[in-house]
Amino acid sequence: MREYLILLILIFVTTTTYSQKIGYEFRTNGKAYISTSYAGFEIRHRTDKKENRLTYSNKLSVSKKLAFTLSLHYKIEKDQATIEPKLIYQFKKFNLWVQKEFNHKENMNTAFGVDLPVKDFTYRVGWDSSNTIRFRLMKKF
C-alpha cells in the first residue's frame, strides 16, 4: 500500500511541476527505484525497503567531451548525507561514466556504466562494486 502511495506522490510531483525526467531502475541484487527530477533536484524511492533519497546535482563541462557532475544525496530514513562525484565522457551516441559515493564516515560503492540517449528516453546499463548490474529507463519531458 505504501509503495502505491509513494508512486502516486511521484506521479503527482511529475505532472504538477513539469518534471524534466521520470525513471525506473532495477538491479540484480533485488533493489528497484523510481525517481523524478526537476532542475537538478531528484526524489528517488527504493521500492523494496521504502527508502527515500533527495538529491541535488550540478553538472560542469570540463571539455567538449568530458563533464563532471557533483551530486549531494540525503538518505531520509538513515539520516545520512553522501556526496557522489561522477565523470562522464560523452561519445557521439552514448555516454560512459564512472562515479564514487562516500561520506565522511564510510567509503561506499563505486559504479560505472553506459547511458544511451534515444530521443526522449535514456537507457542505462551499469555495474557497481557490490557486484550488482543496474538497468535504468528514464523519460524526458
**What is the pLDDT, as a whole number, of residue 20?**
84
Instruction: Report helix, strand or coil for 49.
Output: coil
What is the enclosing helix (H) or strand (E) of 101? Answer: strand 95-102
**What is the pLDDT, as a whole number, of residue 76?**
87
For the chain, 141 residues long, give each residue's pLDDT as a single digit of tens.
555 555 556 666 555 555 589 999 999 999 999 999 988 899 998 987 778 899 999 999 999 999 999 999 998 888 899 999 999 999 999 999 999 999 888 889 999 999 999 999 999 999 999 999 999 999 998
**What is the pLDDT, as a whole number, of residue 105?**
87
Q: Which residue has cell 511521484?
A: 10
**What is the pLDDT, as a whole number, of residue 48?**
79
Asked if residues 141 and 21 have their Cβ atoms less than 8 Å apart, the reply is: yes
- Separation between Cα atoms, residue 29 and residue 128, nearest integer Å: 11
